[in-house]
Amino acid sequence: MTSKGLINLVHLYPREMSIYGDLGNTRCLASRIRRHGYEVRVHDHHPGSTLPDEAHLFMGGGGQDSGQSRVEDDLAVIADRLRVLASDGTPMIMICGMYQLFGNAFITVEGEELPGLGILDVTTRGNATRMIGGIVLDTDFGEVVGFENHSGSTLLASGQAAFGRVRAGRGNNGSDGTEGAVTHHVVGSYLHGPVLPANPGLTDHLIGRAAELATGRAFEPGDLDDTLAEQARSRQIRRLLAA
Amino acid sequence: VLKTTAAIVAGKTARLAARVRGGGSAMPGLVAERVDPKFLTHALSGVHGGVVVVTGTNGKTTTTKMLAAILRAHGKRVFSNPTGSNFTRGVISSMLGTLPLSGRLDADIAVLELDEWHALRFAELVPPTHALLLNVARDQLDRFAEIDTTAGLLATLATQTTGGVVLNRDDTFVSRIRAQVADGVEVRWFGIDPAVADDLPPLHEADVRAGDAVAVPDPTGDDGVLHPDDARAFRIGFGDSGIGPLELNQRGLAAMINATAATTMARFVLGDAFSVQATTEALRTVRPPFGRGEVIDAGGAPLELVLVKNPAGFTVALGTYHAEPVTTMVAINDDYADGQDVSWLYDVSFESLRDQGVALTSGVRAYDMALRLDYDDVAVDAIEPDLERALTRFIAEHPAEPRRIFCTYTAMMRLRRLLAARYGLAGFGEESA
C-alpha cells in the first residue's frame, strides 16, 4: 500500500515527563497513523536536542517534580517555536505536568511562581490534596474516559475553552466542572489512562489535523476496527457514572 | 496486659470469622490494632535476635520467604508474615495465629515484609534492627503518588534502622540512600555481576536524577554478588567465597536477585553462624509464594500463576518466560490493591507474546488489556471479564498443554481460590511456613 504521506510526531521529554503510561499515547498515535495508511516518524525530544524542521503533531506527558525542573531550561529554548506552531494550528496533546507547563504559571504550595509557556490561558496552584480516580467527560470529541491523579488545581481564564465538562470525577480543580483546556488544536488535560488508546475520537481528531498539515490535503482516514476501544471505553464510562 | 489479652482474643475471634468467610487477611489485625495500639511493640519485645524489615516495590514476598527459610535452616525460630499481607495490620493478623496470651511472640528473629508506607508506620512503633531495601519502581502510583516519594519513604526507614541496612547497588533510587544512613549503622550491598548487567535495564526504573547518584563502593567480602550461569543456575559470591551453583524452584533473574538479597541479609544477621550448606539447602527447597511463579497441576497439565503489579515486574516476567511456548491468559483488575490506574500496561512491551498470541483476557479491565495487546499486534482469541467463567473456559479449551496466567493481585487471589477449590490445593493463608 502506498503511503498517504509522512507525519512527524514529536514526543516531548519521554524520559523526564513520561510517567503513568504516557508512552502509550505515543504508541497509540504512531500505530493509528500507520493503520490510517500514513507513514510516521517518532522524534523523542530530550533536553538539549533540536526539534525536527517539520513537526506535525506533539505529545507531552506527566512527570514528577524532579522531572519538571529538569525540562524547564529546554522548554524556554523551544518556547517560541512551540507558540508559533500552536497558533498555526499544529495539534498537540499535553497531559498533566506538561498541561500545567503549557499554561501561564504554576504556583507552588509555598507561593513560588514558576512561569509556563502561556499557550493555554490557565493557571495552576499546588494543592495539599491530590485528586485521584476515574473520570468521565463530555467533550467536542464525544465522551472521554480516563484516570486523573494530580495535586495541581487549575483555573481557566475567562474566555479560555475547557477540554470537557466533568460528568464523573474532579477535573481541573474539583469545583467548577471543567476539565483541561483547548486552544486552536492544542489540548491540555489531566487524563491518564492513557487517554488516547481508549478514546479514538479524540485521537483521530489530532491525527486528522496532523495529516492535513503534513500533506496539504484533507484527512483520508482508513477503515479501523475500534470494537475493543469502544468496549473498554463504554464499560468504564458505565461503571464510573453508576458509582 | 489485660488490654493486650483482650486484643488477642478479639483479634483471634475476628481471624476465625475471616477464615470461615474465606478472605480478608488484614481485617483481624485491624481489630487488634484498635483494641491495643501498643500491640506490636509488646508482641515483638521478646524477640532478641533481630527485627528485619524487607521492603521495596518488587520481590518483597519472595525475598522474605527466602530469608525466613535460610534463617530457619540455621535452627532459628522465625516469625514472619508469609501471606503477602504486607501492611502493619497484616503483620498483626499473622501474629494472632501463633501468639500466646502473654502477647509476647516466642521467636528468635522476626522477618517482616512491609510495603513502603507501612514499613515507616511500623518503624515508628518498633525500630527495626535491620532493613533490606530491594528496589523502587512505579507501583500503584495512585497510592504513593510519585516514585520520588516512594524512594523518600525507604530513605526514612533506613534512618530509623538501628543495626544494619542492606541496599541494592544496581538501583540508583536505593543506592543513593547510602548517604542518609546514620553513623554506626553498617551498610552492606547486594547486586549483579557487572558482566551480566546488560540484563538490568528492564529491572529498574529510569532515574532522571542519576546525575547526582552517590558512588557505590566496590563489593567487599560481606556484599553478595549474583553470577547467573544460565536461566536456572547461579552462584552468589562474597569476596573469594560464596554459595552455588544452585537452582531455585522459581525461574528468572528476578528470583535470583531476590535470593542474593536474602542471602546477604541472612549472612549479616547470622554473623559467624552463617552456613553455606544450610543456606544452599534452604534456597533449593523454598517454594515460590502463591502466584509468584507457582505451578499448579490443573487437570493433568501445569498451570502457572504469575503476579504482575507494575511495568518493571511485568517486563521481567515476560522476559523470563518468552522462550517457552505456553498458552497465555492475562487477568487485570483495578481494585485498590491492583492499582486503580491501568495506564501502566502501556509501559510494558508485549511483543514477545506476538508469535503465540493470547488465548483469553479477563478481569474488570479485560477489554482494556485486549486493546493494549492490539496496539502491540498481539492477537487475542477471546475476552471474558468474569474470572470464573474465563478460568473454566481457559482450562476446558486448553486441557493438555502448559498454561500461564499473568494476573494482578486481586485477580490472582480470586483465581487461586477457584483453583484451590477445584484441585484441592491449600487455601490462601494456610500455607505451611
| A192/B341 CB distance under 8 A | yes
What is the count of residue pairs from A and B with beta carbons less than 8 Å apart?
Answer: 88
Q: Give the distance between the most distant pair of CA atoms in chain A.
A: 57
Chain B CB within 8 Å of residue A221 CB: no
Confidence category of residue B35, pLDDT binned at 50, 70, 90: very low
CB B376 within 8 A of CB B357: no
A28 annotated active-site: no
Chain B CB within 8 Å of residue A28 CB: yes
Measured in angstroms, the CA of A197 and the nearest CA of chain B are apart by 8
**Chain centroid to CA A193: how far?**
12
Angle between helices B253-270 and B311-321 (to 10 degrees): 110
| A20/B374 CB distance under 8 A | no
Q: How far apart are CA B325 and CA B321, in angstroms?
A: 8
Q: How far apart are CA B304 and CA B307, in angstroms?
A: 10
- With 90 as the cut, is the pLDDT of residue B129 above it? yes
A147 against A112, higher pLDDT: A147
> Most B CBs within 10 Å: which of A96, A190, A228, A234, as the mutation test of the B interface?
A228
Give residue B232's pLDDT.
Answer: 81
Name, in order, each residue with C-beta under 8 angstroms of B16's C-beta and a sequence gap of 6 or more: none
Residue B298, H or E segment: strand B292-298
What's A25's DSSP letter? H
Confidence category of residue A178, pLDDT binned at 50, 70, 90: very high
Contacts of B341 in chain A (CB under 8 A): 20-21, 147, 149, 192-193
Q: Name the nearest CA neighbour of B268 among B74, B47, B135.
A: B74
CB B4 within 8 A of CB B42: yes
Chain B CB within 8 Å of residue A191 CB: no
Give Rg (Cα) of chain A. Answer: 17
Q: How far apart are CA A165 and CA A96, in angstroms?
A: 17
CB B85 within 8 A of CB B146: no
Burial of A20 (0-12, 13-18, 19+ CB in 10 A): buried
A40 against A14, higher pLDDT: A40
Average model confidence (pLDDT) for chain B? 82
Find the CB nearest A132 among B138, B142, B345.
Answer: B142
Q: Name the nearest CA neighbour of A120 among A192, A61, A189.
A: A189
Q: Are strands A153-156 and A164-168 parallel, antiparallel or unpaired?
A: unpaired
> Out of A45, A56, A192, A205, which one is annotated catalytic?
A192
β-bridge partners, A173: none
pTM for this prediction: 0.80
* Number of separate helices (H) and strands (E) present in chain B: 15, 15
Confidence category of residue B15, pLDDT binned at 50, 70, 90: low
For B373, the closest chain A residue by CA position comes to A228
pLDDT tens for each residue of B185-200: 999 999 999 887 665 5
Q: In what order do the strands lie in the sheet with B380-384?
A: B292-298, B301-307, B403-407, B327-331, B358-362, B380-384
| A64/B141 CB distance under 8 A | no
Q: How far apart are CA B377 and CA B370, in angstroms?
A: 10
CB B160 within 8 A of CB B122: no
Chain B CB within 8 Å of residue A64 CB: yes
pLDDT tens for each residue of B246-301: 999 887 788 999 999 999 999 999 999 999 999 999 999 998 887 777 778 888 88
Name, in order, each residue with C-beta under 8 angstroms of A5's C-beta and a sequence gap of 6 or more: A38, A39, A211, A214, A215, A217
CB A62 within 8 A of CB A148: no
Measured in angstroms, the CA of A158 and the nearest CA of chain B are apart by 31
pLDDT tens for each residue of B303-344: 988 888 888 788 878 877 656 678 999 999 999 888 888 998
The secondary structure of A165-229, three-state, reads EEEECCCCCCCCCEECEEECCEEEECCECCHHHHCHHHHHHHHHHHHHHHHCCCCCCCCCCCHHH
Q: Are strands B301-307 and B292-298 parallel, antiparallel or unpaired?
A: antiparallel
φ/ψ region of A216 (left if φ > 0, alpha if ψ in -120 to 50, else beta) reads left
| A193/B343 CB distance under 8 A | yes
Q: Tell me the percentage of chain B whose pLDDT exceeds 90.
A: 44
Give residue B212's pLDDT.
Answer: 55
Give residue B150's pLDDT.
Answer: 82
Q: How far apart are CA B394 and CA B407, in angstroms?
A: 14
**Residue A57 — φ and ψ, nearest 5°?**
-155, 130
Give me the interface pTM, i.e. the ipTM: 0.96
Give Rg (Cα) of chain B. Answer: 21
The residues of B whose Cβ lies within 8 A of any Cβ of A are 138, 141-142, 145-148, 206, 208-209, 340-347, 365, 367-368, 370-372, 374-375, 383, 385
Tally Cβ neighbours within 10 Å of residue B28: 27
DSSP A83-151: HHHHHTT--EEEETHHHHHTSSEEE-TTS-EEE---SS-EEEE--SS-EEEEEEEEETTEEEEEEEEE-
Contacts of B206 in chain A (CB under 8 A): 15
CB B254 within 8 A of CB B56: no
What's A62's DSSP letter? B
Q: How far apart are CA B301 and CA B353, in angstroms?
A: 21
Give residue A223's pLDDT.
Answer: 96
